[in-house]
Amino acid sequence: MKMKNGMYLFATAIVASTMGLASCSSDEEVAGGTDLGSLINGKKNDVTLALSVKGAVDKRLSQDEANMGAIIQTISNIYVVPMISTTAPQASSAYLNPIKMPNFTNGLSLVEETAKLNENINEFKVYGNISALDESKIFDGVTSTLTQTTAPYDAEKVTSTLYKPHGLYYYGHAGVTGNQIYGGESLDAANTAITAGTSIKGYKAIKLSNVNYAVGMLAAGIINGDASTTCFYDTPELSGEGKTAEAAGIKVHSIIIGGQSQKLDTDFERVGTDLVSIYETATGVNTDGFVDQAVSFGQSDGKVAGASFYSVVAATKDNEDVSMNIVFEMPENTYIKNVKGETLGGTTITYLFLPLVLTDDKADVDDGKDVFMKDYTTLLNATVTDWGRVSGSEVISTDVNIGVEINTAWQKGVTYEEEI
């Protein structure tokens, strides 16, 4: 299931209201002309920027850290980047110096910062939870590049190079078609839509909106649907009485998610064509990581409580499927024979892999959505239907789901149920 704003995204507005100027000496006179160079040298006025937001974190996510709980996480490194764009004599645009905003902490609804703004500004970009920017220099863009990580699996067990997920970034671009700047004589009266491409000149207050998550979120619940089968043993000969997964101490350990862009650009779009896999560990819900029943979006707040995994995900594109492996931890001196006839286990912890594929054609059922999208939560419920289908190493899947039942529903209630 995908739900817009289900993650309690960067909410509402950025507000800029002009302060009273003490004298003309506090202004910088504009150079003549309408070319980009002249506009960049335009008159500057003292402006107070006020920002209202909710949520965020940039590390392994628990329920609270994913803003699915009661506490909204601190948002740091918040920047407003003014822009000047022109269509004559040719289409061009330029960034100005970024403006650092105070951090948002839980319970704080508004922060303010005063800066001098060029009256020819007609666009703004807003970022949150990014790396620190140099306010003394003209903004030259940001990028997010995944960093490699390691997992406790033996190297020969995993084909993919594993990376940490992208951070839980925020992004907005105001002053363009579909996301207008609003102006007025005061903040309360800033309700006049400024036509895209028109500057903020003449307004004493401006308001920007639609600043949201720049990435998507995966919330996944793992269900043991093969709970009664006694297929785990204490000896490699599989002698004696078999145990259920619960009795054997099987735990949900981690998830490997493919189809991820290794690098994102200034607008958090994919750079290049290379796709990699990210690695995230389980939240430890119910101690063993399994959920008792399918997780779902809250009726009133859109939050997903009690999932086995929460992971930031980069947006995928149309016609792109996403392959995953759910990884389970089997204690030492525990053994199982899979359907291939392989006996898995040993005197140390063994990791068991079950693959699945989220296909884009199922996402397309609801208004042409993709598997992962910016500003959306994708909800996955995966039910283990046969422990005998586990593998001792990562399974690279392209068109099949093995050993899991997929129940994925989107915002409009489309539900997918598969038995493997």
**250 and 203 assigned to the same domain:** no
DSSP per residue over 195-258, as a string? PTT---TT-SEEEEE--EESSEEEEEEEEES-TT---BBSSTT--S--B-HHHHT-EEEEEEEE
pLDDT reported for residue 71: 61
Among 161, 188, 213, residue at a domain's last position: 213
Tell whether 280 and 387 lie within a shared domain. Answer: yes
| 216 in Cβ contact with 27 (< 8 Å) | no
Position 213 pLDDT exceeds 70:
yes
Higher-pLDDT residue of 66, 14: 66
Residues 322, 258 contacting (CB under 8 angstroms) = yes
Q: Tell me, what's the pLDDT at 414? A: 24
Domain membership flag for residue 147: no
* Spatial distance between the Cα atoms of 91 and 120, rounded to a whole number of angstroms: 15
Averaged over 147-157, what is the pLDDT? Answer: 93
Last residue of a domain, one of 151, 183, 213: 213
3 state SS of 40? helix
Please provide the average confidence, as pLDDT, over all residues in the chain.
Answer: 79
The pLDDT tens digits of the residues spanning 299-321 come to 666 677 889 999 999 999 988 98
Cis (ω within 30 of 0) for the bond into 152? no
The mean pLDDT value for 140-154 works out to 93
Residue 402 lies in a domain: yes
Average pLDDT over residues 119-125: 92
Q: Contact at 8 Å (CB) between 206 and 191?
A: no
Asked if residue 59 has pLDDT above 50, the reply is no
Please give the biggest Cα pair distance in the chain.
Answer: 91
Residue 85 has pLDDT above 90, yes or no: yes
The answer to whether the beta carbons of residues 406 and 358 sit under 8 Å apart is yes
Predicted pLDDT of residue 384: 94
Give the count of domains, the chain: 2
32 and 83 part of one domain: yes
Clarify whether residues 208 and 279 are in a common domain: no
Are 182 and 247 found together in one domain?
no
Q: Is 131 in the same domain as 226? A: no
User: Does an H or E element contain 51, and which?
Assistant: strand 44-51
Q: For the ranges 87-96, 149-158, 185-194, 195-204, which has the lowest average pLDDT?
A: 185-194
pLDDT tens digit string along 342-362? 999 999 999 999 998 888 877
pLDDT in tens, 170-202: 898 989 998 888 888 777 777 889 999 999 888
The pLDDT > 70 percentage for the chain reads 75
pTM across the whole model: 0.84
Please say if the pLDDT value at position 5 is more than 90. Answer: no
End-to-end CA distance of the chain: 20
Domain boundary residue, one of 196, 213, 230:
213
For residues 324 and 358, what is the distance between their CA atoms, to the nearest angstrom? 8
Given a cut of 60, whether residue 234 has pLDDT beyond it is: yes
Are residues 385 and 406 part of one domain?
yes
- What is residue 240's predicted lDDT score, i.e. its pLDDT? 93
In 3D space, the residue among 404, 365, 360 whose CA is nearest the CA of residue 384 turns out to be: 404
Residues in the chain: 420
Amino acid letter, residue 43: K
Residues 389 and 348 in one domain: yes
Is the same domain home to 176 and 256? Answer: no
Worst-scoring range by mean pLDDT, 73-82, 264-273, 403-412? 403-412
* 79 plus 93 within the same structural domain: yes
The CA distances from residue 291 to 6, 252, 373, 410, in Å, are: 20, 10, 25, 20
In a domain, 149, yes or no: no
Domain membership of residue 377 as a residue range: 216-417
